[in-house]
A and B are shown apart, each in its own frame.
Chain A
Amino acid sequence: MTSLNHVTGRTRYVADLRNHRCLHAKFVRLATPRAQIVEIDRSEAVETPGVVAVFTANDLVIDGQVPTFGPLVADQPVLAHGETKYEGEPVAIVVATSERVAHEGVRRVRVRSTPLDPVMTRDDALTSPPIHSIRPESKLEWAGTNIMGEWQFIGGDVSAAAAKAPVIIENTYTVPFAHHFAMELYGAIAFPEGDGVAVVTATQHPFIMQRIIAATLGLPQEAVRIQATELGGSFGSKGYPKVEPAAALLALRLGVPVRIMLTAEESFLTGQREAAQVYMRSGFDATGQILFHEVQADFLVGAYTDISERVVCKAGLHALTPYRTNTFNVFVRGLFTNTPPTTAFRGFGAPHVIFALESQMNQAADQLHLDPVDLRLRNLRDKGESVPGESSVDGDWKALLTSVADVIGMDTANAGRDEGRGIALGLKSCIPATTSTARVLLSNEGKVTAFVGTTEMGQGIHATLAKIVADSLGVTTADVTVVAADTADVPFDALTASSRSTVHMGNALLAACDHIREQMKSFAWSEQGMRHPIEVSGTTVKCGHETIALSTLMESRGDAAERHVLAGEGTFCAAEDPEHPMNGPTPFYEVVVTAVRLRVDRETGMISIQKIVHGTDAGQVLNPRRATGLDDGGVVMGLGLAMSEQLLLDEGTQKFMNGSSLDYRIPTVAEIPPITSVFIENRDGPGPHGSKGIAEGGILAVAPALSAAVTDATGVVITRLPLTPETIWSALANLPDGK
């Protein structure tokens, strides 16, 4: 159904929903990265015909405070007061009878402000006074600096290992700010409902949204209802509240529905991917065995916390997980900057450290004259091997690596001059310690309704979940209707993220189906006198040669008219461990290998990619076409981030120069190389049929594979993303003999 709706334009995204009573709200934003607000003059704006109200932070105070929000730390104000902390931070909001009038009202609000010195870089952050004067609620210690949080993971003695290491590779890698570029922009509509508010919004996580909006507004959670629409892409961008708190607040205040839809330019300044600098020093023995890894990574997280504490911690925790490394010192920090808040982004911090780690591995292979596949095979963990403090290795990573290497022909020499090949592995853990609950109704006609909190954003999860239920109950997927993501309709689900839903919600649904089967069996036992072994398949119960239909069973209960469905409920909880830095061990590992063959044009620095092979340890693929499409899409997004995407700051104004869909270039169809997908399926995952989550993986290892191929082609080592023609050309120009 989803696909049919997509191709006919019938899918209703949040911006497509319209209520003729809706008022339209638009933010007044300050264009400087950091400023002291002196005065906000709204006199002209409020006199504009059609403008209903203009609010500043002071008008929105609840219990003496400007409301703030955030998933971990409520440090982001609904409207800035006193000081703005990032370019485009809202300082007022105009509510009007139409979008056009709201836009005009925004133009007529006069904001007087004094620019303040912004904290824009790692060095700024480490040497400047803190941009936050207080830091509420964080579980982390805060020293009154721009360090949001820091984590260190140590094993063995790095200094001693370094003293003895015959080969040491030392580099600093940089990854710029980037934007998710979901095609659907940020937006929400809030409706007064009962004693509270209902928010219809493009969010990945309706239950997290409910909790945060309730906290922001000082309402009980039951007074907040979130209806998540289908998302027009997200990639992490729509996980945590952005425009929803303001919409909810205004709807409550004004007693009418309020709609906020951002433009593309506003969306660029609303959610970004962290920039990072990753220093890495790695030691190897002559056979290519890792002797130690040292990592110091600084992530620029923007002006507010959002989910960054978890992004940065996880990036550090799993920086080295693929390889057996007993001696390590990993130190990661998140630094506040006067840039838009960063948030979850496909890969959740992993791509930054994978670029560093895998580039180190490739350089070590070069220096040791070893095959990069052999070097990895020497160090990769075996299936079943324990990982200190973490879940054991749940997949055959070596088989994955060699499969991809074989398909692309890593041991086949480059065909021509300036051609190169590269390979890299990527690993991401899944969010631990979360719960999914599902409800399933089975009618005596064999029709099924599955109630899930899982949101659909293009990953095809509703189709996958429908198939899991259909297979379990012995009906067809056409018999299954998925009802999703309205907090008033569906049981609790923690979130739709981290590639977790196939495993978590899939298992919750299987448990709900089991619950239904138990009920059918007990009916058969008590009403039909059936005795063990009783088998249940779809809507039929079998016992020996005897079979009986669910509808007959229902009649035998004597209440067929009223009771024509069985309701099953099931829950899946991933293990929790309060001692673990992320609250628990990963439910599974998402592991991929990407290999590239390309040619570099030395005159222009341009890369032309000839072929990409991408492999995923899927456990078991449940939806083959979509799995391939997700990997394709992830790889192409990875190509964009590796080759062209970056948010550039003007050195003079410290403002973003390319924060628009016109100037920030994502890959188009014209630039797409042939991509071959490989899936390893050993049914060794914790999900239905041995599946694991896969949706994020495509992005993880593209950049280091590409970088390695550029090195193979040209001899230059590039440690700065993206690998633009200019970057490659400059590096080539600096080669002593122009090799």
Chain B
Amino acid sequence: MDDAIAQYRLRVNGVTRDLSTDASATLLEVLRRDLELTGTKYNCEQGECGACTVLVDRTAVNSCIVLAVSLDDREIVTIEGLRNELGVDLQDAFIEFDAAQCGYCTPGMVMASRALLERNPKPSQAEIRSGLEGNYCRCTGYAFIVEAVAEAASRQPQDNRPGTGDTGDHAAPSRQRGDKVEAPADHEGDGRP
């Protein structure tokens, strides 16, 4: 209650947000309460279940255990900001493979998958499993989620699909994809064919 007010700046889904909140507020709280970005879900608030996964500088982070103030000037992407090509492919694959049942874990699962594909564009089944181990799902039994992520990976631009203009660099996350992640959330025409 005697919480000091902290002032800091986050870049959320490409938009700069100057914030003034309780210093002890977690990123989860700030996203859901102050920015009303409720696409990010929560359950354990202990960094265990992965429902609140977002990207901080392109890495998956449990937003429930990170103080928002500690992310001054960092780049945050939530499910609402996932509009790049890979995000669309991933989300399409989740729909096609029926990888969401109740859907509550889905935003966190999609963000964790996005981070996984960012650092490992061609993950094996085992790598997908270990990459998503921190995300609980109580509905699906996970099989369709793993299938969806594998399918999304196979559809990545590296497949030399016409029109993707990708460099074919499998080893490192390409700057091009990263730039797309950082495109403003309100920018339409986000590269989806």
Contact between chains at B103 and A230 (CB < 8 Å): yes
Min CB distance B100 to A, Å, is 4
| Given A8-B79, A13-B41, A632-B144, A637-B138 contact (CB < 8 Å) | yes
Q: Decide: A670 near B129, CB < 8 A? Known: A13-B41, A233-B102.
A: yes
How far apart are the CA atoms of A49 and B101 in the complex, in Å?
A: 42
How far is A260 from B41 in the complex, measured between Cα atoms in Å? 16
Q: Are A670 and B133 in contact (CB under 8 A)?
A: yes
In the bound complex, do residue A183 and residue B101 qualify as a contact, i.e. CB atoms below 8 Å apart?
Answer: no
Chain A at the B interface: mostly helix, strand, loop or mixed?
A: loop
Q: Does A725 contact B (CB under 8 A)?
A: no
**Interface digits, B57-94 against A, CB 8 Å rule (1 contact, 0 not)?**
00000000000000000000011101000000001001
Residue of B nearest to A677 (CB): B143
Size band of the interface chain A makes with B? 35 or more
Asked if A7 is at the interface (CB within 8 A of a chain B CB), the reply is yes
Q: Pick from B40, B46, B78 the residue with the most CB of A within 10 Å.
A: B46
Q: How far is the CA of A49 from the CA of B2 in the complex (A)?
A: 11
- Would you call B38 an interface residue if the criterion is a C-beta within 8 Å of the partner chain's C-beta atoms? yes
> Contacts A7-B110, A10-B39, A626-B98: A232 and B104 contacting too (C-beta < 8 A)?
yes
Cβ contacts under 8 Å, B102 to chain A: 6, 182-184, 230-234, 457-458
**A356 CA to B145 CA, complexed, in Å:** 33
Q: B164 interface residue, CB < 8 Å from A?
A: no
* Contact indicator B133/A264 (Cβ below 8 Å): no
Task: Tell whether A636 is near chain B: CB-to-CB under 8 Å.
Answer: yes
In the complex, per-residue mask of B106-136: 1 if CB is within 8 Å of any chain A CB, else 0: 1100100000000000000000111011111
**B139 contacts A by Cβ under 8 Å:** yes
- A672 to B147 CA separation, bound complex (whole angstroms): 13
Pair B129/A264 contact, Cβ less than 8 Å: no
Across-interface contacts of B44 in A (CB, < 8 A): 264, 660-662
How many A-B pairs have beta carbons closer than 8 Å: the answer is 174
CB neighbours (8 Å) of A609 from chain B are none
Q: Is the CB of A7 within 8 A of B100?
A: yes
Q: Report the minimal beta-carbon distance from B143 to chain A, rounded to whole angstroms.
A: 5
List residues of chain B with CB within 8 A of the CB of A183: 41, 43, 49, 51, 102, 104-105, 136-139
Residues of the A chain whose Cβ atoms lie less than 8 Å from the Cβ of B48: 661-662
B140 contacts chain A at the CB level, 8 A cutoff:
yes
- A183-B43, A626-B101 given as contacts; is B143 within 8 A of A233 (CB)? no
Q: Output the nearest chain A residue to B97 by Cβ-Cβ distance.
A: A625
The answer to whether B188 has its CB under 8 Å from any CB of chain A is: no
On whether A264 and B45 interact (CB within 8 A), knowing A7-B94, A233-B138, A668-B133, the answer reads: yes
Assess whether A672 is in contact with B136, with CB atoms less than 8 Å apart. Answer: no
For the complex formed, measure the closest distance between the CB of A638 and the CB atoms of chain B, giving whole angstroms.
10
Across the interface, do B43 and A661 meet the contact criterion of CB distance under 8 Å?
Answer: yes
For B138, the chain A residues whose CB sits under 8 A away are: 180-183, 233, 235, 633, 637, 666
- B41, A232: Cβ atoms closer than 8 Å: yes
User: A18, A104, A180, A662: which contacts B1 (Cβ < 8 A)?
Assistant: A104
Q: A181-B136, A459-B101, A668-B135 are known contacts; what are 6 more A-B pairs with Cβ within 8 Å?
A: A5-B103, A7-B106, A11-B103, A633-B101, A635-B141, A669-B137
Q: What are the 7 A-B residue pairs with the smallest beta carbon separation, nearest first? A: A9-B39, A6-B103, A232-B104, A458-B102, A661-B44, A458-B101, A9-B79
A residues near B (Cβ < 8 Å) are 2-13, 15-16, 18, 48-49, 99-101, 104, 180-185, 230-235, 263-264, 457-460, 625-626, 629-630, 632-637, 660-662, 666-670, 672, 674-675, 698
